[in-house]
Amino acid sequence: MAGAPNKRLFSAELKMMQEKGQELPQQSFYQEGNIAAEPLNSNGVSNEQLLSAILDLQIIMRKNGQNSTPIITESTPPPAEANAAPSGLENLAQDYEAATALKNEIRALSRSIQETKAEIRSMQGGTQGGDQVLNASTELDAVVQATEDATNVILESTEKIEELAQKIHNNADNDDDRGAADDIMETSIKMIEACNFQDLTGQRITKVVGALKYVEDRINAMIEIWGEEDIADVDASVADETDSDKNLLNGPAMDGEGIGQDDIDALFD
């Protein structure tokens, strides 16, 4: 076509024509008066011509039996997209740091859970094989019951003393005996008033027992969450820091527990 620029032949094409004995054409980059619209590099070659030459070179290499990976294709992304790689690496590094921090937090949480399990295990059973929180609640309940029973005995006995003192007062022949009987009755009244301690201490101990039972309920809830078998497999971390006489200091036995008088009498039969 008249006025159209001649196609520039590249070195690979010229070499093939030379090997085939063909005459090499005289060519210039552009015909006079016809300049390409696209920008040229410092050697006067446009980007389109450079890409076309690379594609032609790949075709020639395949024809010669060379198995080469394509250097560039029409779908090859522009160099500007390659600049996004560093930011991707930075994001990957940040994700790795976040994952490492999360793993450390999970490890710390796991250690805390194991320590909590060990503490619960130590509260569940010591050398005597019983739940210490439950035992404490039971012991305090027994204290309240024992003081209540003792107070009732004291009140009944004091009332009996007061009745006897009243009889002595009524049967007395002189003022000294009547005065002594009055003193006995007055002392009995003071004893009855002093027995109010049982009501006050009983209320306070009952509050403590309620708090212990609340703690026990929370511990039992945690045991149900983790599982009794899981807790049982944990070694107790809290050792008994006591002397060898602790096992002998159990106090009076609960009702229905321990050795009764009948058992002692049976030893002598």
Give the span between the Cα atoms of 124 and 136, in whole angstroms.
12
Q: Are 254 and 141 in contact (CB under 8 A)?
A: no
Q: Are 198 and 148 in contact (CB under 8 A)?
A: yes
pLDDT tens track of the chain, all 269 residues?
A: 444 445 566 666 666 777 777 776 665 444 443 444 445 555 555 666 667 777 777 777 766 655 555 544 545 555 544 444 456 677 788 888 888 888 888 888 888 878 877 777 777 655 444 567 778 888 888 888 999 999 999 999 999 999 999 999 999 889 898 999 999 999 999 999 998 888 888 889 989 888 888 888 888 888 788 777 776 666 655 445 554 555 555 656 666 666 666 766 677 76
**Torsion angle, CA of 47/49/54/58, rounded to 10 degrees?**
150
Task: Give the pair of three-digit tokens for residue 82.
Answer: 């390659």
Give the span between the Cα atoms of 238 and 228, in whole angstroms.
19
Cα dihedral 15, 17, 21, 26 sign: negative
Give the span between the Cα atoms of 167 and 177, in whole angstroms.
11
DSSP letters, 113-180, are HHHHHHHHHHHH--TT-S-HHHHHHHHHHHHHHHHHHHHHHHHHHHHHHHHHHHHHHHH-SSHHHHHH
Q: Where are the domains of the chain?
A: 11-73
Map residue 40 onto helix, strand or coil. Answer: strand
This prediction has a pTM of 0.45
Neighbour-count burial of 124, counting CB atoms closer than 10 A to its CB (0-12 exposed, 13-18 middle, 19+ buried): buried
Query: Which residue intervals of the chain are DSSP H helices?
Result: 11-19, 47-63, 79-82, 85-124, 132-171, 175-194, 197-226, 228-232, 261-267
Q: Are 39 and 46 in contact (CB under 8 A)?
A: yes
Bridge partners, residue 46, by sequence: 40
Give the span between the Cα atoms of 23 and 26, in whole angstroms.
9
Residue 261 DSSP class: H
Task: Calculate the alpha carbon distances from 63 to 16, 46, 57, 130, 242 in Å.
Answer: 12, 26, 10, 89, 93
Q: How many CB atoms lie within 10 A of CB 165?
A: 19
Give the span between the Cα atoms of 120 and 238, in whole angstroms.
10
Q: How many CB atoms lie within 10 A of CB 204?
A: 10
